[in-house]
Amino acid sequence: MNQGFQAIKAQAGSLALVSPALLLLGILFFYPILLLFLTTLELENIGNYAQVVSSDTSMQVFFNTLRIAVIVTVVDLVLAYPLAVYISRLSPTAKTFAFFLVLIPLWTSQLVRTYAWMVLLGRNGPINNALVWLGIVDAPIRLANSEFAVIAGMTHILLPYMLLPIYNSVSKIDPSLFDAARGLGAGAFSTFTRVLMPLSIQGVLAGVSLVLVLSLGVFIMPALLGGGRVPVIALLIEQQAGSFLNWAMAGTLSAVLMVIVMITFFIIKLATRLFVRGRADAAFS
């Protein structure tokens, strides 16, 4: 009894501590979203849902957004996994330096980094100049204003969100486990599939869900690097709200995007359960 009361009191105490943050989020974040969502449910707007779902154009944009998000996530995973393992084996000084390099882009404005990509990929940018100079192409090719540019930019910007959770799990693995695996006859591939991957799967899934969800909603990259050729849902929403002043439609599209994000989360959650099984408790507690 008394203990239960103590627990409640403790909980109330922590609630008091987080309440300013909760209040801020509630007023500035949750309330506007709720308002927008309620607008979409008004009688004159509810038909928008049917319109979005039945329209080939908008469904194609949703599909395109998802496709780009999956590509970015996979590329980031392939880039970040070996990098995380590499960083985890560096000396403490080198590790600090490596993290510095990883975090600087995070601290730099997305807009600045996007403009940097525009310069890099431009007609007279360093990449085109190099290609021409090396004789790989005769004349500068179009790199910017393409899906390639959008994917390259997003991959770069979202890489730390993949790297950090994976690094976090990898660095917690006892390095002697890799020696043990090698000594017991496991090659590089078996060591990866039987030891490294199962022991870092939680970090991998966390990184995958972060990057996937963030890339579903990215706006700046497709807007500035896509040159209007890369339709994604965030652009469509902006167009509805900004150009057509059709807030209800923008709200409907947002709601559909949110449902897609939630389904994605749910699938990853399911995957986590499947991969980690009941073992997480035994292995990591």
Partner 1 sequence: MPDFRNTSALKLENIRKTFGSVEALSSINLEVSAGEFLTILGPSGSGKTTLLRLIAGFVTPDSGSLTIFGEDMTMASAGKRQIGMVFQNYALFPHLTVLENVMFPLEMRKHSRREAAEKAAAALAAVHLDAFGDRYPKQISGGQQQRVALARAVVFEPKLLLLDEPFSALDRRLRESMQREVRQLQASLNLTTIFITHDQEEALFMSDRIAVIDGGTIQQLGTPNEIYYHPRSITVAEFIGDSNILEGTETPDGLRTRSGMLLRRASSSNSGRVLIRPEAIRISREPADGVAMNQFKGKIANRTFVGGFTIYQVDVHGGDTLTVRCLADEETMFDTHQEVHLSIREADCRPVPRDAKEPRG
Nearer to partner 1, 2 or 176 (CB): 176
User: How far, in Å, CA of 215 to CA of 270, rounded?
Assistant: 20
- State the nearest-atom distance from the C-beta of 73 to partner 1, in Å: 24
Minimum distance of partner 1 from residue 179's CB (angstroms): 6
Q: Which amino acid is residue 263, in one-letter code?
A: I
Q: Closest CB to partner 1 among 64 and 168?
A: 168
Site map 145..184 versus partner 1, x via CB under 8 A: -----------------------------x-xx-xxxxxx
CB of 280 to partner 1, least distance (A): 9
DSSP letter at 178?
A: H
End-to-end CA distance of the chain: 29
Query: Which one-letter amino acid corresponds to residue 184?
Result: L
Radius of gyration of the chain (CA): 23
Q: Does 113 bind partner 1 (CB under 8 A)?
A: no
What is the helix, strand, coil percentage profile of the chain, to 5?
A: 80, 0, 20
Q: Is 93 in the site for partner 1 (CB under 8 A)?
A: no
Report the residue number, 42 or 179, with the smaller CB distance to partner 1: 179
For partner 1, what does the binding mask look like between residues 197 and 226, x meaning CB under 8 A? -xx---------------------------
Nearer of residues 113 and 182 to partner 1, judged by Cβ: 182
* In the complex, least distance from residue 89 CB atom to partner 1, rounded to whole angstroms: 14
Q: Does 67 bind partner 1 (CB under 8 A)?
A: no
Q: Which among 167, 149, 182, 30 has a CA at the least distance from the CA of 85?
A: 167
Q: According to the binding rule CB under 8 A, does residue 1 interact with partner 1? A: no
Kindly list the distances between the CA atom of residue 172 and the CA atoms of 197, 216, 282, in Å, as whole numbers in the listed order.
13, 30, 15
- 271 touches partner 1 by CB under 8 A: no
CB within 8 A of 255, min separation 6: which ones?
Answer: 37, 40, 49
Q: Of the candidates 70, 98, 186, 223, which one interacts with partner 1 according to CB under 8 A? A: 186
185 binds partner 1 (CB under 8 A): yes
**Nearer of residues 186 and 260 to partner 1, judged by Cβ:** 186
- How many residues bind partner 1 (CB under 8 A)? The answer is 22
How near is the Cβ of 51 to partner 1 at its closest, in Å?
49
Say how many C-beta atoms besides its own lie within 10 A of residue 275's C-beta: 15
- DSSP track, 31-78: HHHHHHHHHHTSTTTTHHHHHHHH-HHHHHHHHHHHHHHHHHHHHHHH
Cβ contacts of residue 75 below 8 Å, gap of 6+?
151, 155
Closest Cα partner for 211 from 171, 268, 275?
268
Q: Which residue from 2, 187, 243, 245 is in contact with partner 1, where contact means CB under 8 A?
A: 187
Q: Which residues bind partner 1 (CB under 8 A)?
A: 174, 176-177, 179-187, 190, 194-195, 198-199, 279, 282-285
